[in-house]
Amino acid sequence: MKRVVPVVIVVALALTGVIAWRIRAQQAELEGPPRGSGVVESEGADLSARLGARVTALPVTEGATVEAGAVLLELDCAEPEARLAEATARLEGARAQAEAAGASAVAAERNSQAARASVGAAGAQASALGQQQSVAAREAERVASMGEHAALSRRDQAQAAAAGLEDQVRAARASRAARSRQAAAARSQAEAAGSAATAAQRGVEALEAVVRAAQLMVDECRIVAPRAGVVERVYYEVGELVTPGAVVARVVEPAFVRATFYLPNADIAAARVGVAARVEADPYPGRVFDATVRRVGLEAEFTPRNIQTRSDRDRLVYPIEVRVPNDEGLLRAGMPVTVTLEDAS
């Protein structure tokens, strides 16, 4: 019994020491800079198909480094190409019709101008004949007023000249009226031809839009990299059918990665966009990766089960995303890391 008492005392002292150490560790943790655990995620773009078709070729493989514009996947393009060919043929026909309509409009406008010019000429002729007729009429009256002093033949000649010019004036005025009607008809024809040419041009513009749309669909038969990076995943094989909107490949930028961790209400004030952070990963003990806060969540969430924060007392946390340069490619997607915010005061 005497031996048991010292053992109990030793055990009690040891437990007391452990509890004290745990308390000091937790206190130090609470007083330290805000930190949390997260998982590395790659930065990249998921590429989707706009049309449904079968995969005909895969020019690249997963893990390949590609430049912007590199073809990652090719789809069967028979149907979009047929639509493009049809639209192109219709456009060529519409352009020919528009060209002919434009030529007709030009010719009709020239005819209208000629008709208006002929109206002017007829009016000028009628005016000149009217003046001549007035002179001849006055001459006939003057000769008639001379009575017997003027020869009968002279009186007859003056009256005949005046009557003849009067007939010519009436004929000229009738011709001018007829030419005016012809000019109005020519003007109407020119306007109709111009409207037809405008409509034909609008038809060409509409078909040009159809051709552009068809060309866009043909371009969608080739899925290309939007930027330089590494092909992380290709989700289809040759011969498989791709549905519209399906993600077919993912291209990531290995020079940068991101990690999301969670902070409780008590620490959220320390997290601001642009604040520096330190990232540590288990595979690289003693290595610290510099990072920068890129996003601070605006809405609180419940603490995820797979994420540990400094304090378990706060069940509501905010997601914080940091961006980490990864020029050496050491940090990989799915790798757990610990993120510590620097003092931004």
Q: What is the pLDDT of residues 187-226, one digit of tens each?
A: 878 788 888 888 889 999 999 999 999 999 999 999 999 9
Buried b (16+ CB within 10 A) or exposed e, 11-47: eeeeeeeeeeeeeeeeeeeeeeebbbebebbbbbbeb
pLDDT tier for residue 106 given thresholds of 50, 70 and 90: confident
Neighbours of 267 (CB within 10 A): 22
Q: Of 170-174, 183-187, 251-255, which range is least confident? A: 170-174
Phi-psi region of 77 (alpha: psi -120 to 50; beta: other; left: phi over 0): alpha
pLDDT tier for residue 267 given thresholds of 50, 70 and 90: confident
Average pLDDT over residues 227-256: 92
Answer for the pair 51, 214: CB distance below 8 angstroms, yes or no.
no
Q: What is the rounded distance in angstroms from the CA atom of residue 75 to the CA atom of residue 237?
A: 11
Residue 18's pLDDT is 55
Answer for the pair 252, 64: CB distance below 8 angstroms, yes or no.
no
More confident residue, 114 or 34: 34
* Model pTM score: 0.60
Average pLDDT over residues 97-123: 79
Domains in the chain (CATH in brackets) are 32-76+229-341 (2.40.30.170), 78-217 (1.10.287)
